Amino acid sequence: MKDLAANAGKFQDPFVTATGETRASVALTNPQTLWFNTGTLCNIECANCYIESSPTNDRLVYITAAEVTDYLDQLEDRNWGVREIAFTGGEPFMNPEMIEMTEAALARGYEVLILTNAMLPMMRKTMREGLLRLHAAYGDKLTLRISVDHWSEKLHDEERGKGSFAKTLQGMAWLRDNGIRMAVAGRTVWGDTDAESREGYARLYAEHGFQIDAFNQGETVLFPEMDERAEVPEITTACWGILNKSPDDVMCASSRMVVKRRGAEKPAVLACTLLPYSPEFELGETLAEAEGAVQLNHPHCAKFCVLGGASCSA
């Protein structure tokens, strides 16, 4: 890791880089996913959680089913053409209205993705009953993406706490036994190659009978480490041609995220799922206000999205 001075002078002006070049921006050209952060409270506290979720962090409070429904109405009014509603946290199943919010989206025909650690909050009786009912009604329109940071118990527990791997596998076994569709989110922080990681996950899935494809990047998503202290280049308008990459491929071309800040009267719409605490990426309270272009003025924009090519969506 670099020290905090690694990017000194960079990412200051939203329109111009430190070298005076025009900063790249990304337009909302093909909205496919609307994310909802259900709240930052979580049943565990991970060593390197980008959103600092924990049993005590409520900087983002529980969003309600009524608020989610309002944004679903806005989606129809704005005709965004979104195919997927996704829920992240914190731990989404900490939110008491998680099943109601999920059903609101499924009932309108959207695919729904829920990011979860599959531990105790998901395994509460009311949540399991709700998931079974939704699965019976909507089948594979519902997917749960399980956080399995590494395919080995040792390294997963190094990040999430002793015993967390076993508890997550118990939750996954329940989902497997009830035919609920799963995907997995892992991390690349330990230096495994992509091939090594996927081979490890393939062995894990085979051992437990999980119907998840380790070699499908939509079913086993491997995220690069998000370290704001790492030195990264700023993305200029010239980078698209140099990298042979289209701005349409970057996550903020196809998604937005709704959050509810502690003390706020209404939720807000953010440009990115990765930057919930950066005020410059807050676009307004409505989807109409969130239709503008996003200036790539953060290290995550470069390392995670443009150079890393990662996306939170499938």
Tokens for 246?
A: 């289209």
3-state secondary structure at position 193: coil
Q: Is the pLDDT of residue 309 over 70?
A: no
| Top-confidence residue, 276 or 310 | 276
Mean pLDDT value across the chain:
93
Residue 288 confidence (pLDDT): 98
For residues 84 and 112, is the Cβ–Cβ distance under 8 A? yes
For residues 257 and 272, is the Cβ–Cβ distance under 8 A? yes
Torsion angle defined by CA atoms of residues 153, 155, 161 and 164, in that order, rounded to the nearest 10 degrees: -30
Q: Which three-class secondary structure string do you get for 108-147?
A: CCCEEEEEECCCHHHHCHHHHHHHHHHHHHHHHHEEEEEE
Tens of pLDDT along 29-64?
Answer: 999 999 999 999 999 999 888 889 999 999 999 999
Q: Which of 155-169, 202-216, 217-231 has the lowest mean pLDDT?
A: 217-231
Residue 5 confidence (pLDDT): 60
- Residue 223: DSSP 8-state: E
Residue 37, beta-bridge partner list: 88
Residue 190 confidence (pLDDT): 86
Map out the domains of the chain with their CATH numbers. Answer: 4-307 (3.20.20.70)
What mean pLDDT do residues 308-314 have? 52
Cα distance between residue 252 and residue 247, in whole Å: 9
Q: Is the pLDDT of residue 74 over 90?
A: yes
Cα distance between residue 283 and residue 290, in whole Å: 5
Residue 255 confidence (pLDDT): 97
Cα distance between residue 306 and residue 239, in whole Å: 9
- Residue 199: DSSP 8-state: H
A 10 A CB-CB count for 235 gives: 27
Q: Is the pLDDT of residue 289 over 90?
A: yes
Residue 276 confidence (pLDDT): 92
Q: Is the pLDDT of residue 278 over 60?
A: yes
The pLDDT > 90 percentage for the chain reads: 83
Q: H/E element holding 175?
A: helix 164-177
Tokens for 82?
A: 């979104």
What mean pLDDT do residues 65-87 have? 97
Cα distance between residue 38 and residue 101, in whole Å: 10
Sign, CA dihedral 88-91-95-101, equals positive
Residue 226 confidence (pLDDT): 64
Q: Is the pLDDT of residue 224 over 80?
A: no
Residue 110 confidence (pLDDT): 98
